[in-house]
Structure 1
Amino acid sequence: MLAQLIVNGLIIGSVYSLIALGYTMVYGILRIVNFAHGDVMMFGSFLGLVFMKTFQMHFLVAFTLAAVCTAILGIVIERFAYRPLRKYERIASLISAMGVSIILANLAQLIWGSGTHNYGTPFSIKTYEVMNITISNLQLIILGTSFVLMIALYLFTNKTRMGVAMRATAQSIENASLMGININSVIAMTFGIGSVLAALAGILVSMYYDAVYPTMGYMFGLKAFTAAVLGGIGSIPGAMIGGLLLGVVENLGGTYISTQYQDMIAFVILILVLVLRPTGILGKKDIKKV
């Protein structure tokens, strides 16, 4: 029983981790919270559904196109909603992020309606039993895809030229600019990569629950933000760990306490982390020299 709950928690937690990576990457560079990120995830999920069912594309092609379109959406949001506000106080970017979130949610309702759409899966579901743990091929795909994407991002940020530029920009935008790094390109790339991960996470979770709806980004976004804070916002490994931990704790709490309070658990964790360890599990104190 316990092992089954942990496995189920890791599966939904891996989705939280993918979304949390977008939050932590943007915060690591700009020190702002992109509260529109959950709605970007929702848009990516809807685009995957449209390409797959409306245009009858192969699901791999449909999901790839959805990820590319969502990356473009993320870059456009950064260019017009965040970049002009960099020279102002961070509260301006925060308000802009909330505005973008509302716009995306309402735009989705105008396009696809306010109801829930069945997502389905492009393959038949099969279940396997290993050591008294039941797991489906869809769950294995979600878990495997999430871990491959997380590892790919970690390698990208540590082994590639653009990844090094992103880490340098996260250290200091001013110093990175003086070293010849194109700050605007790095930030746009950060939003693009975060949006791709969010879109794929949205597609995976929509297949898992067989549902997609315009307001889904709100709750998933808040939970992913909680995961980012839990792991240490600004830390890529922290976002991965935070998402997995949150998924497991949430699943255990929903089973042993009550499913009615399952969503509340994420916010209790958020408050406890902010009170007891504001830097999170892998976060570091932001020391400012004067």
Structure 2
Amino acid sequence: MDVQYFVELFFGGLTRGSIYALIALGYTLVYGIIELINFAHGEIYMLGAFTALLVAGVLGIMGFPAGGILVVAALAAVIWSAAYGFTLEKVAYKPLRGAPRLSPLISAIGMSIFLQNYVLLAQTSDYLPFPRLLPDMPFLDYIDNIMGPSDFLILTCSMLAMIALTIFIRYTKMGKAMRATAQNRKMALLLGINADRIISLTFIVGSALAALGGVLIASHMGQVNFGIGFLAGLKAFTAAVLGGIGSIPGAVVGGLVLGIAESFTTGYISGNYEDALAFALLILILIFRPDGILGKAKVQKV
């Protein structure tokens, strides 16, 4: 077995899996709070990439340096997508909070289709080139044969974002309120926690993480299209279920497992089977461990 090729596939899988994990965190945060699958979440990821593309174009015309363009474009995409996530929750989900569970699900699918077509009409159906704005990283010359600058940037930014989210959830007042609301919303309300504010915050945080993933993958691939959010959203949802929907560590583990599995499938079998593998894994997990890798079965008291 070619060890170098194996290592390349492993790090390629980590790169892909970290993007899935960033998007999956949004799914699992929302589900943990209000038990809703936000099927428009993949489109937030896509909007983040397009926002960064537009901002990068304007800054490029103004003569900004490449590294500065990437940072500013990423910040703009995160803020703009977080605003979209907040608006999405207020417009499409909050009015249906007391409705039958199928209603917000249909609303989520409707918002996904709306956002796709909104970007299609506002931009184009063609793939648009995304500028490669990576700063120089001389230290990567030592490992250039297994990891490029964009892979390193994706892994580093994803890891830092996940660590920041963990610290926020575990140690901040709002993070503790999110955990309390996820555990028992009625009791949280009795203790004075504003559940509406916590739900909105959940959408904001999840959307910001998805936007970051969109910017990183667009810079890595060098192109962006209105349809990139659909398949990425499905893969990330698969990762969230794989790791245990509602579990933050589970979303990370599920994303990395899925990314590595796809990478080795592409490398040793064929790229034609990577999408089939994602859903085959999902079916197997649902059959043999329905609660996911790190998920816990809910005990219902009668």
TM-score, reference length from structure 1: 0.96
Asked if the contact 1:128–1:134 (Cα under 8 Å) also holds between the matched residues in 2, the reply is no
Structure 2 partner of 1:19: 23
C-alpha deviations, 1:136-159, integer Å up to 9, x for none? 121111100000000100110000
Asked if the contact 2:70–2:134 (Cα under 8 Å) also holds between the matched residues in 1, the reply is no
Matching residue's letter, 2:50: F
SS of 2:147's partner is strand
SS of 2:128's partner is coil
Pairing 1:61–2:65 present:
no
Structure 1 partner of 2:133: 122
- What is the deviation of 1:3? 1.5
- What is the deviation of 1:55? 4.7
Task: Give the paired residue count.
Answer: 289
Structure 2 partner of 1:287: 299
Structure 1 partner of 2:47: 43
Matching residue's letter, 2:141: Y
- What is the deviation of 1:54? 3.0
Matching residue's letter, 2:187: N
RMSD between superposed Cα atoms in Å:
1.4
How far apart, in 2, do the equivalents of 1:167 and 1:76 lie?
22
Matching residue's letter, 1:284: K
What aligned pairs does 1:1-290 form with structure 2 within 5 A after superposition? Answer: 1-56=5-60, 58-123=69-134, 128-130=141-143, 133-290=145-302
Matching residue's letter, 1:128: D
SS of 1:123's partner is coil
Matching residue's letter, 1:277: R
C-alpha deviations, 1:52-102, integer Å up to 9, x for none? 113546331221111101001000000010011110111111100000000
Asked if the contact 1:129–1:135 (Cα under 8 Å) also holds between the matched residues in 2, the reply is no
SS of 1:134's partner is coil
Asked if the contact 1:3–1:133 (Cα under 8 Å) also holds between the matched residues in 2, the reply is no
Asked if the contact 1:128–1:135 (Cα under 8 Å) also holds between the matched residues in 2, the reply is no
Matching residue's letter, 1:204: L
SS of 2:39's partner is coil
Asked if the contact 1:70–1:195 (Cα under 8 Å) also holds between the matched residues in 2, the reply is yes
Q: Structure 1, unaligned stretches of length 5 or more?
A: none
Q: Structure 2, unaligned stretches of length 5 or more?
A: none
